[in-house]
């Protein structure tokens, strides 16, 4: 990342600066913001530009309106929260391209800031249509991509627009990339990865790519079930991907022949049904009863994992250890968050649900870094290209 130009490498004074931020926050059933972490994380770049006399035009998507205006996905609640947090009014325009928008942007004075309407109200956004990208580019003299959560998308506002404007990274994007890159390429060792979540198929890429980077790998959550199956264990009615069992078996072999320790839970919390109200109990993984469902890692596994955590210097965590949304099955994930916080290691948390779990456990401030981009951080750790980054200007 250090190889890409950032907002600090370009002249912005008096310029119109188009900033792609990731203000895509979850909404509750009343259409109110359910979170504001990403909005908060976007502010340093906006402030930086304002202080340097730029005319700041902020763009973002919200949800999945699929190419047409959806009233419930307008950015008004985002503009309101952004205004509150910045302590100044951030006006929101009714569209993100077009003559009227261009006229409003032309009126901006140095230090002014406006927010455009949801970029995904236009089909050209996700199609990365050159005409739509050009229309966006007419709103700026410089493009700053700060939307880490969207850099794995090859969309008009995340990548396409960079063909028509000098394009650089914002402060959040730079920080996200620096932290991930450091953890991956020059970590203090031992380097431990803890991978969980629902499905193996979502995380095959990361399990493959971390093989020759980590010293130890812990696999938990629903995806461990497929590994249990690969070992010939009964998994009852658990979430499992039988067609991925062969792959899990191969991965275990590869880890072994690479000399990387791969730990799976040795005990689990099982429930009679996939429900918070269901009867539950702790069993060794060899004794998962027919018809029952694995919901969380067990207490012995937590203790074993804690020892590995305490020996590690750098830890990557992606994916909860159990169905933490249900109170009776949250403990595995919550105690892991606690152990990570207490470990003294540099902890990097990626993944939307994992980040939410860490915040709920109250340990967010004790992690070195919590990524604002689940999909993007996964893609980075898989070693894949990020279109929103590769489109930026290289440092000389
Ligand atoms: P992240 O967003 O952190 O990358 P994922 O999206 O991969 O995580 O997975 C999160 C989901 O995995 C959570 O909603 C959680 O309920 C689910 N999960 C974890 N363990 C299990 C399990 N044993 N059975 C079913 N679902 C599980
Ligand atoms: Mg997720």
Both tokens assigned to 63: 């949800």
Write down the pTM of the prediction: 0.92
CA–CA gap between residue 140 and residue 15 (Å, rounded):
8
pLDDT band at 396 (very low <50, low <70, confident <90, very high): confident
Q: What is the pLDDT of residue 2?
A: 57
Over pLDDT 90: what percentage of the chain?
A: 96
Q: Which helix (H) or strand (E) holds 290?
A: none
| 265-301 tens-digit pLDDT | 999 999 999 999 999 999 999 999 999 999 999 999 9
Q: pLDDT by residue (tens digit) across 168-188?
A: 999 999 999 999 999 998 999
**Rounded distance between C-alpha atoms, residue 80 and residue 77, angstroms:** 5
Taking the alpha carbons at both ends of the chain, their separation in whole angstroms is 13
Is pLDDT above 80 for 121? yes
Any idea where the domains of the chain sit in the sequence? 7-174, 187-381
Residue 87 bears catalytic tag: no
- C-alpha 139/C-alpha 57 separation (Å) is 7
Residue 1 has pLDDT above 60, yes or no: no
Q: Check if the beta carbon of residue 61 is closer than 8 Å to that of residue 119.
A: yes
Q: Write the residue with the smallest CA distance to atom 15 of ligand 1.
A: 323
Phi, then psi, of 60 in degrees rounded to 5: -160, 160
Q: Which two tokens stand for residue 209?
A: 């790519």
Give 300-350 pLDDT, tens digit per residue.
999 999 999 999 999 999 999 999 999 999 999 999 999 999 999 999 999
CATH T-level fold of 7-174: Rossmann fold (3.40.50)
**In this model, does residue 352 exceed pLDDT 90?**
no
Task: Name the band, by pLDDT with cuts 50, 70 and 90, for residue 253.
Answer: very high
CA pair distance 387, 152, nearest whole angstrom: 6
Q: What is the pLDDT of residue 351?
A: 87
Q: Count of residues for the chain?
A: 396
Question: What confidence tier does 392 reach under pLDDT thresholds 50, 70, 90?
Answer: very high
Measured from the Cα of 202, ligand 1's closest atom is 7
In the set 111, 205, 352, 366, the catalytic residue is 352
Backbone CA torsion sign across 382, 388, 389, 394: positive
Q: Which residues contact 29 (CB under 8 A, 6 or more apart)?
A: none
CATH topology of domain 187-381: Rossmann fold (3.40.50)
Q: For a substitution probing ligand 1, which of 196, 333, 370, 372 has the most ligand atoms within 8 Å of its CB? A: 196
User: How close is the Cα of 46 to the center of ligand 1, in Å?
Assistant: 34
* Shared fold status for 7-174 and 187-381: yes
Is residue 23 predicted with pLDDT exceeding 90? yes
pLDDT at position 166 is 98
227 φ/ψ angles, rounded to the nearest 5 degrees: -70, -40
The residue that leads in pLDDT, 254 or 1, is 254
Average pLDDT of every residue of the chain? 96
Report DSSP letters for 363-376, one per residue: -GGGSSEE-S-HHH
Residues by chain with Cβ below 5 Å of ion ligand 2: 352-353
């Amino acid at each position: 990342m250090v190889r890409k130009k950032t907002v600090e490498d370009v002249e912005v004074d008096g310029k119109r600066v188009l900033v792609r931020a990731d203000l895509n926050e979850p909404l509750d059933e009343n259409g109110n913001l359910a979170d504001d972490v990403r909005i908060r994380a976007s502010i340093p770049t906006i402030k930086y530009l304002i202080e340097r006399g730029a005319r700041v035009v902020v763009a973002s998507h919200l949800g999945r309106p699929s190419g047409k205006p959806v009233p419930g996905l307008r950015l008004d609640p985002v503009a309101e929260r952004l205004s509150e947090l910045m302590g100044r009014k951030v006006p929101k325009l009714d569209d993100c391209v077009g003559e009227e928008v261009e006229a409003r942007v032309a009126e901006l004075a140095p230090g002014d800031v406006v927010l455009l309407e949801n970029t995904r109200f236009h089909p050209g956004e996700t199609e990365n249509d050159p005409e739509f990208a050009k229309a966006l580019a007419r709103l700026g003299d410089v493009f700053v991509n700060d939307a880490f959560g969207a850099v794995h998308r090859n969309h008009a506002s995340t990548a396409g627009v960079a063909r028509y404007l000098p394009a650089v990274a914002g402060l959040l994007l730079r920080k996200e990339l620096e932290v991930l890159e450091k953890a991956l390429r020059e970590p203090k060792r031992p380097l431990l990865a803890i991978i969980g979540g629902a499905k193996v198929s979502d995380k095959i890429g990361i399990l493959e790519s971390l093989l020759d980077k980590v010293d130890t790998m812990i696999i938990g959550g629903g995806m461990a079930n497929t590994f249990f199956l690969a070992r010939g264990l009964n998994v009852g009615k658990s979430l499992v991907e039988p067609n991925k069992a062969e792959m899990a078996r191969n991965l275990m072999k590869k880890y072994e022949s690479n000399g990387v320790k791969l730990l799976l839970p040795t005990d689990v919390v099982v429930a009679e049904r996939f429900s918070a109200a269901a009867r539950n109990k702790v069993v060794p993984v060899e004794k998962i009863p027919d018809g029952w469902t694995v919901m969380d890692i067990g207490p012995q596994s937590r203790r074993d994992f804690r020892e590995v955590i305490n020996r590690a210097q750098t830890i990557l965590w992606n994916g909860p250890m159990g169905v933490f949304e249900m109170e009776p099955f949250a403990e595995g994930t919550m105690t892991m968050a606690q152990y990570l916080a207490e470990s003294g290691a540099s902890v990097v948390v990626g993944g939307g649900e994992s980040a939410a779990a860490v915040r709920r456990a109250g340990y967010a401030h004790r992690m070195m870094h919590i990524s604002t981009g689940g999909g993007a951080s996964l893609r980075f750790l898989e070693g894949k290209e990020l279109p929103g980054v590769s489109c930026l200007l290289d440092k000389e």
